[in-house]
A = this chain, B = another copy of it.
Amino acid sequence: MPLASSSDMGTPMTTAEFLGFTAQADGTHALNMTNQLLGGGSGSLFGGVGLAAGLIALEAATGQAPVYMTCQFASTISPPDELVIHTEVLAKGRTACQGRLTGTSGDRTILALLGATGDRREDLRGIWRTMPEVAPPEACEPLQRTQDSDSFHDHAEVRMARGMFGFAPEDAIGRGTASGDATTLFWTRMPNVSHDAAALALMADYLPSAVGNSLDKRTYCSSLDNTIRFVEPVEPDASSEWLLCESHIEFIAAGFATSQGFIWRRDGTLLASANQSMTAAIPRE
- On A, residues with C-beta under 8 Å from B are 67-68, 70, 72-75, 90-91, 95-96, 98, 100, 109, 112-116, 118, 120-129, 181-182, 214-215, 219, 224-225, 227, 229, 231-233, 248-258, 260, 270, 273, 275, 277, 279-282
Distance between A200 CB and nearest chain B CB, rounded to angstroms: 14
Q: Evaluate contact between B98 and A74: CB separation under 8 angstroms.
A: yes
Q: Evaluate contact between B275 and A126: CB separation under 8 angstroms.
A: no
Given A128-B181, A252-B125, do A116 and B280 touch, yes or no (CB 8 Å)? no
Distance between A182 CB and nearest chain B CB, rounded to angstroms: 4
Docked complex Cα distance between A219 and B273 (Å) = 22
Residues of B within 8 A of A227 (CB): 70, 227, 275
Distance between A80 CB and nearest chain B CB, rounded to angstroms: 23
Residues of B within 8 A of A182 (CB): 126, 128
Docked complex Cα distance between A123 and B255 (Å) = 7
Which listed residue, B123, B125, B250, touches A129 by the CB 8 Å rule? Answer: B250
Residues of B within 8 A of A225 (CB): 68, 70, 114, 116
Distance between A93 CB and nearest chain B CB, rounded to angstroms: 10
Q: Evaluate contact between A250 and B128: CB separation under 8 angstroms.
A: yes
Q: Evaluate contact between B116 and A72: CB separation under 8 angstroms.
A: yes
Complex A-B: 6 CB contacts under 8 Å: A72-B114, A114-B225, A122-B255, A124-B252, A124-B257, A126-B215
Residues of B within 8 A of A72 (CB): 90, 98, 100, 114-116
Residues of B within 8 A of A260 (CB): 260, 273
**Which of A112, A121, A182, A251 has the largest number of chain B CB atoms within 10 A?**
A251
Given A112-B100, A128-B181, A260-B273, do A231 and B255 touch, yes or no (CB 8 Å)? no
Q: Evaluate contact between A224 and B122: CB separation under 8 angstroms.
A: no
Which listed residue, B100, B122, B219, B275, touches A275 by the CB 8 Å rule? Answer: B275
Given A95-B255, A281-B124, do A224 and B129 touch, yes or no (CB 8 Å)? no
Docked complex Cα distance between A56 and B127 (Å) = 35
Q: Evaluate contact between A109 and B90: CB separation under 8 angstroms.
A: yes
Q: Evaluate contact between B118 and A254: CB separation under 8 angstroms.
A: yes
Docked complex Cα distance between A227 and B256 (Å) = 16
Residues of B within 8 A of A100 (CB): 72, 112
Residues of B within 8 A of A258 (CB): 68, 229, 273
Q: Evaluate contact between A231 and B253: CB separation under 8 angstroms.
A: yes
